[in-house]
Amino acid sequence: MLLLIPGPVQTRPEVRAAMAQDIAPWDRDFQAVYARIRERIVGVAGGTPGVHATLPIQGAGHFVTEAALRTFVPPGGRVLIPMNGAYATRMARLAREAGRDVVTIELPDTRGATAADILPTLEADPSIGTVAMVFNETGSGIVNDAPGIGAAVRALGRRMILDAVSAFGVLPFRMDAHPECDALVFTSGKCLEGMPGIGFAVARIDRAEACAGNAGSWSLDLTDVLAHARRSGWGSIRFTPPVQAIAAFDVALDLYDAEGGQAARLARYRANADALYDGCAALGLRPYLERQHQGPVIVTIHQPADPRFDLMAFVEALKRRGVLISNFWNTTAPTMRIGAIGALTPDDMRHAVGAIGETLAELLPRAA
Ligand SMILES: *Cc1c(COP(=O)(O)O)cnc(C)c1O
């Protein structure tokens, strides 16, 4: 089965094999693996050891995103979120339910947000302390200009939190070039092609120290994660971690390095997305995004206007041909969402496009 979804992604057999063992989290052998993973992640984030630290939160990406919002935005603090997709909406809800004062800017989900979109609001309201935003909007496939917005945030002396869950390891953003960024968050199961089960914040140590007491939650307090690492060692982790997923993640990082790191992986995903975009267009399907706004992570395609089209039936029929895509959509208009990430190549994508064509022919036969 080809898993064409934007996380959890198709993984390599070596990654899956690393899970086939029992592990004690406090075992010294495992602690060495885990401490090394944390260092490697700081490197992938373009951070500086001693300035930046990898702070884990077990579970799905939402948990670590909420932890970053709770930790780095004080209770009642005002946070600006550019709204142009499903994951921005989720971020706003996480912040609101944590009691933060959310200011939104509504933008279309068909192009990435830029500094020009947020600057007037940010300049007009000095009480906005933080801009929180999504890097790659996995709802539609657009890429928001996180480096450009970060520069604007820095110029105005504000702080930034970046949801890089579907971007980390692929879209360039170096923490050492973005001192305004308190935390960028991501998970094990997306562009680094590991198993799902744990999220990480790469955070500024000085900010984590300054923000003790903000979180209003022990489980989701990144300052406590930092304090624990200092107390018990960087190979130690609070509460029971998904040890097998962490062991697999170490192998996934080896494969990431062997492939050539960020530039090589971005090139492969870009080629995957191009193959999907061009292939679907050649089938007569209409991509949701104009070409110049199409990011490398997920391709969304308008559902055929034919009244016989039913997404669930389509996904099931496509699955019988060995290709699995999302059975839901979260763009403004009805779409099919097809992931371009994971251990997959442009040839896999062309194969998938062939299967999509056959499935459409089966379900929507032309009138004789
Ligand atoms: C996948 C994803 C998340 C986290 O999703 P979870 O289901 O909580 O792991 C957050 N933000 C973006 C942009 C994502 O793509």
Q: Which domain holds residue 222?
A: 14-257
Is residue 219 within 8 Å of residue 155, measured between CB atoms? no
**What local confidence, expressed as pLDDT, does residue 366 receive?**
83
Q: Is 346's C-beta closer than 6 angstroms to any atom of ligand 1?
A: no
**What local confidence, expressed as pLDDT, does residue 164 receive?**
98
In ligand 1, which atom is closest to the CA atom of 297? 15
Q: Are residues 227 and 313 in the same domain?
A: no
Q: What is the mean pLDDT of the chain?
A: 97
Categorize the per-residue pLDDT at 367 as very low, low, confident or very high, splitting at 50, 70 and 90.
low
Q: Examine residue 59 and state whether it is found in any structural domain, yes or no.
A: yes
Q: Are residues 32 and 85 in the same domain?
A: yes
Q: Are residues 18 and 83 in the same domain?
A: yes
List Cα–Cα distances, 339 to 213, 265, 289, in angstroms: 39, 14, 14
Q: Is 139's C-beta closer than 6 angstroms to any atom of ligand 1?
A: no
Query: Region 140-165: what's the mean pLDDT?
Result: 98
Q: Examine residue 9 and state whether it is found in any structural domain, yes or no.
A: no
Q: Examine residue 176 and state whether it is found in any structural domain, yes or no.
A: yes
Q: Are residues 211 and 265 in the same domain?
A: no
Using the Cα atoms of residue 18, residue 21, residue 26 and residue 30 in order, give the sign of their dihedral.
negative
Q: Are residues 57 and 132 in the same domain?
A: yes
Q: Examine residue 3 and state whether it is found in any structural domain, yes or no.
A: no
Q: The whole model's pTM is what?
A: 0.97
Count up the domains in the chain and report the number: 2
pLDDT one-digit tens code per residue, 188-216:
999 999 999 999 999 999 999 999 999 99
Q: Examine residue 336 and state whether it is found in any structural domain, yes or no.
A: yes
Q: Is 142's C-beta closer than 6 angstroms to any atom of ligand 1?
A: no
Q: Are residues 266 and 215 in the same domain?
A: no
Using the Cα atoms of residue 241, residue 37, residue 197 and residue 202 in order, give the sign of their dihedral.
positive
Q: Are residues 234 and 310 in the same domain?
A: no
In ligand 1, which atom is closest to the CA atom of 134? 13
Which of these three, 257, 279, 308, is where a domain ends? 257
Q: Are residues 253 and 265 in the same domain?
A: no
Which of these three, 202, 226, 257, is where a domain ends? 257
Q: Is 87's C-beta closer than 6 angstroms to any atom of ligand 1?
A: yes
Q: Are residues 182 and 236 in the same domain?
A: yes
% of the chain at pLDDT higher than 90: 99
Q: Is 295's C-beta closer than 6 angstroms to any atom of ligand 1?
A: no
The domain spanning residue 198 has which CATH number?
Answer: 3.40.640.10
Which of 194, 118, 185, 172 has the alpha carbon at shortest distance from 149? 118
Q: What is the DSSP letter of 100?
A: -
Q: Are residues 245 and 266 in the same domain?
A: no
User: 3-29 as b/e, with b when 16 or more CB fall inside 10 Å?
Assistant: bbbbbbbbbeeebeebbeeebebeeee
Q: Is 163's C-beta closer than 6 angstroms to any atom of ligand 1?
A: yes
Question: How many A from CA of 339 to the centre of ligand 1?
Answer: 13
Query: Region 57-85: what's the mean pLDDT?
Result: 98
% of the chain at pLDDT higher than 70: 99
pLDDT one-digit tens code per residue, 6-23:
999 999 999 999 999 999
